[in-house]
A and B are shown apart, each in its own frame.
Chain A
Amino acid sequence: MTETGIYVYAVSRDLPPAAMEGVEGVGGAPVHLIEGRGLTAVVSPVSLGEFGEAALKRNLEDLGWLERTARAHHAVVDAAAAHAVTVPLGLATVYRSEDRARQSLGDRHEEFDQALSRITGRTEWGVKAYADLAATGGERGAQDRGDQEETSGARPGTSYLRRRSEQRQTEEEARHEVLVAADRIDDELCDLAATRRLHRPQDPQLSGERGWMILNAAYLVDDERADDFREAVVRLAGERPEIRLQLTGPWAPYSFATEEEAWTEV
């Protein structure tokens, strides 16, 4: 028989027990709550055969397992966040017993309390920007070719090299331009947000996106400014045809669960 551990998804304040009834955690296990000093941990039992140290190390690198676990983790966090202010914990935070989980959460009470206060009344929104430089590059390329035909007296080799050099310069300028535009988009959104965190650009193989990712940011926005924030994203998205914006959310405040000093470089 495999040992059972306790998976901790999140810590909430004032989470009504009824809110989590029927919610399933990883492996379909029923979620329950551990109360302590005014905070509530959202947990479920897991097999240490799957979530023990050695197994976890292996499983985390299996994309199928990672996806199932990430989605299960998110479903629980999302359900809690829909009912109460909730700080998500890192993926696969596992204890050997409920007592150990309770003890550890008690030790970190102050930190959770501060985190909960920091995110109360605020929601995380994600904004991603992609530049489609192929489109603009193609147009400019066509223009260059037109110019070229008019000056066809030049030696083909020389004009090819010159054309290549001009093309490179144009591409370089286009890249610089969209990066400046991405900074401006980020600045405007930062003005509407309580705080912002940058995530690393996504791997196109994972995202399936072909454009060049020029912004991958999470913004913590006061709930009363959420409409303004969304409207700003729509407005900014209409400004430049070669830049596409995607808004995601509302998210539980994953990106803002820890203080800024603790954000790891991404």
Chain B
Amino acid sequence: MDRSVSVPTPRPPTPARGQRIALVDLLDRLLAGGVVITGDVTISIADVDLVRISLRAIIASIRPEMDRVLEEGDDVRDEPIQGVVVREDPRP
């Protein structure tokens, strides 16, 4: 799916060129890297609000599981009941 390789792997990780890479890894490099020269179109990437990009990404990819973790993560820790707290997802 992307060319990042989780290690340890049975063999040394040798990611190949051309495999699909994770967008987030690419954006790390494209938004913070590269030679910045002032083109005729003078918008600077630094002006781009990454917070807004992140928010849009969140809206665009609502993942119920992740939402649940975010909503309940701290509650679960503070729960005075011992043991793993399992909650039913109220959504159908």
Contact = CB atoms under 8 A, between A and B. Distances in A.
The 3 closest A-B pairs by CB, nearest first: A254-B29, A254-B33, A237-B7
Contacts of A145: 82
A254 B34 CA distance: 5
A255 B82 CA distance: 47
Contacts of B86: none
A39 B37 CA distance: 16
Interface of B: 2-9, 12-15, 17-18, 21-43, 45-49, 52-54, 56-58, 60-61, 63, 66, 69, 80, 82
B29 A128 contact: no
* Interface size classification for chain A: 35 or more
Given A89-B37, A94-B40, A218-B29, A246 B45 contact: no
B35 A258 contact: yes
14 contacts: A48-B41, A56-B43, A66-B53, A90-B36, A92-B45, A94-B39, A202-B24, A205-B57, A205-B58, A205-B66, A207-B22, A218-B28, A237-B7, A255-B29
Contacts, number: 194
Given A216-B28, A248-B4, A254-B30, A94 B12 contact: no
Nearest to A266: B32
Interface string A47-83: 0100111001100111110110011011000100010
Contact of B17 (A87, A204, A250): A250
Contacts of A105: 37
Interface string A87-114: 1111111111000100011001001100
Contacts of A94: 39-41
Contacts of A230: 12-14
A51 B6 CA distance: 37
Contacts of A96: 40-41
